[in-house]
Structure 1
Amino acid sequence: MPEKGHGIPLRNSRNKWLSRLLRWSVSSICWTSYIIYRGWVVGQIKFDPREGKMIIHPRNIWTKRVALLVKIFALVCDYSIIAYLIMAFIPMFITPEESLFDNLIDAIGVQISLWNTGRLYYWLNSLSWNRSFVNRVNDVIRVDAHLKSILGPPTLEGISLLILYVLHLQFALLQTFNHPYIMVILNTLLLELVCNAYVAYQMLLLSWIAAINRFLKDFQQEQQPNRKQRKKLLRLLRVYAKISNVHQDIKLLWLPVASMLFSNIVELVDNWSSIIGCLFFHHLNVMEKWSIIFWKYLGGALAPLLRILLIGLFNDRLVQVQGFLNFQLLLIDLRHEKTKQQDMSFTSELKNLQTCFDLQLRAQPIRNQIMSVNQVCGRPFVLNFFFCTVLNSISCVQYIMANGHKLL
């Protein structure tokens, strides 16, 4: 028979590995996004290595002017931008009448892309948005440091989510190559910057709540928790209250960006209808079909769907860990009757914090909203969005074939 605690070294080794993986993945996501953000010369956000936090630091005026001239020069040299703008506003005059439906779909997609690009660029350059973003990032850094001082380094929760994120990045990169227009590439890049920051926060958020859950599990198994453990429990419940407040603030920054994740359903429908038409209604060999789909439509068809799926899976995981947290607190309340009699001050404070937790869980639970505060991005929303995309794509194929038009 193995001795008690025989598997502890192996568990500690696994925890160290998961902790390093979390640190490396979050750091790589944040630093890559930060380098691209600074390289595009937008906004005034800068990382201060001495303070270990984000600050507002105005750009050098000459750097801004040179960068603006380079951006204008790049747009002027890209002759396709003229066709892109014409496609957006007068689609019925640039091609024959029989393809008007395709042109209208393209025009709506272009208008949404231009609108989203303008909003993203305005936010990234807005001083008020920059200040809010800096404050929220610094809040996340403080909470992470506070929780690390209590429980040690958190570990990665959900390797499958990290793998899905890496897969999504591959298709997002392919999406930039699928489009010949620089405005679509800019829209994809700016949207990825914000989404990457949100994904890094989601990974930290899951690790925080999971770390609290592990402590609560050990605590409720103790027959007689000592004073140090009781004090740590109260500190963790206060930390959770800070996590909840930080999430509600981040939600205000995230919701306007989240609306863009489903607003490009027109482009999704266009890509998927082209893929369906190429697969089933074109007399080409398999390699030719795959080449057309891969280089023209696959990135734009899969990257937005995987992005929404990733946010939905994060939300479902959050629901699970918060439900487990609530269950652990209930067990602690039921099992430690002796503790209640011995330490009345601890019991009173724990009761107040548990009441606050219950109220917060019912009034403002930590969830990933999309579209509005009343719309949660979970499995039902993701399935509805996927179904809507497929149904509209098939309808477009049927309409085009019924009118005798070409699918590609």
Structure 2
Amino acid sequence: MFTRAVLVMTGALVLTLVGGCGNVPAREHVPAFPPDAAATRPAVPPSLPPSPPPTALSPPPSPVGELARSSLAPAPSRPDLASSLAVAMATAAPLAASGPPRFFVSAWTPIARFPERSKTAILTPVPPSVHDAGTGRFIAAVPLPPGVESSWKLAAAAPDNRTFLLSGTGGREGDVRFFRVRLDEEGRPGTPEPVPESGRGVSGGLPVLAMSHDGTRFAFADMVAGGTIVRVVEIATGARRDWFSGDMRVSGLSWAPDGRRIAVAAPNRGLGVLDLAATGSDLVAATRLVRPMRGLPPVESVAYTPDGGSLVYSVGHDIERVPADGGDAVVLARLSLPKSTSLTVRFALDGTGRHLLHTHDRRLHRVDLRDGSTDSVPIGTGDLPPGGQTPDAAW
């Protein structure tokens, strides 16, 4: 059972991050994200600076226009970080894309209903579901593993269009658990594979999830006391590696095809690349800036192209591409969406790098990045109750 306060708080967590100050030593040879005040959005990004000598990274100053923290308020303490995963990189061969995607998987939140004069919600679980990528037709519900009572709004995919990572809730209130599902050639899901110990300390407030191209690991961003944490988790064992930032918000993650880097979209910083071989746990110090940007419209999602040479990302309702090493950005598509929609677009890129999907108003919108054209289909639910919100989707 979820209280109304818990549901309202969870919705608020999706929209905002409140960070403290992280004061963690910087690592060598990795140019870090600049302070917010320096993170402007030029028309042409500057070239990357030479690698600085190892120095301590001071907390960046408060962004212009934001209220300074009170000198009387103590800074939040740094959370306990996990380092049970000795090597964070995904080293197996990427799963091959077989052409345009045939399927997509939708992930819904439970339906919450408050009886009259009650502050406690009655939840109707809505499992994830598989759909035909061309028509949106419902194919099958994805079974939930033991101990998972309902799905949650998180989904990611490997490039083969058959391997998906999903999340659900169960156990303690607010606990989030992850599981992998593989589809057969007809799109029917197999037995879910739970990730051991994957839900401890996960609030589920941030719908930011990415799967490695070999299908063995995933990364997600989450809010913790004092800031944001990015975690890499090994699916087979649940071992993980954490990076933390006291003030950097994260809205999007994407694995490089070689498994050695993760692209990071940070609305209050820009686009960066996290080096998974970097030592330490300072997210800012381990992340190399690719494209600085700050303000409106904000950057939201990011995805590596299949060759690993470029990053595709959303800024407002525009889809752009920039070289992964930095350089000039080009606009691939300008999405036409109702004025009532969010200022940002969360998307998934398919394994070929040609097709992008995003959801709005219970419809799947497909964008062909070769010419910027868009079409859409309704997301079928079959006999399942329609979820309380438009789902996230992955292919």
TM-score of the superposed pair, with normalisation by structure 1: 0.21
Structure with bigger gyration radius: 1
Between Structure 1 and Structure 2, the one with more strand by share is: 2
